[in-house]
Amino acid sequence: MPLEEKVEYYQTQCPGSQICLIAEFENTVIGADNLGKLGKRAEDVGKEAAIEFLKEAKSEACLDKQQASQILPYLALNKNKSSFTVSEVTGHCKTNVWITEKFIKGKFTIQNNLILWNPF
């Protein structure tokens, strides 16, 4: 698979560091990021982001753990049954399932790392 690398650096007024890794595939996009803090080496910030990114990529899920909670309201607006796999079902995702079901008629079902939407 061809790899296209894009590195962007931004000059800031603070000494902190942040990294965001994104991979675009044929049918999805996954990512991972990490934020530095005082006393944390930039190399460690990058290493932690890379480890998280590889974990996401190796899961072979359709969405990474951050995307799952973000897509739920849009998925619920769909009038058809839908499903997707996610690398990890986070607490934030479970909360968003609960909240979305309060506003839109339907039911989410979580089976391991598969999230299903069934509209009423």
Residues with a catalytic annotation lie at 92
Terminus-to-terminus CA distance in the chain, angstroms? 42
Assess contact for 73 and 96: CB atoms under 8 A: yes
Where would I find the beta strands (DSSP E) of the chain? 18-24, 29-35, 82-85, 106-111, 114-119
Query: Residue type at 86?
Result: V
DSSP conformational letter for 87: S
What is the Cα–Cα distance from 115 to 112, expressed in whole angstroms?
8
Assess contact for 24 and 4: CB atoms under 8 A: no
Provide the 3-class DSSP secondary structure of residue 111: strand
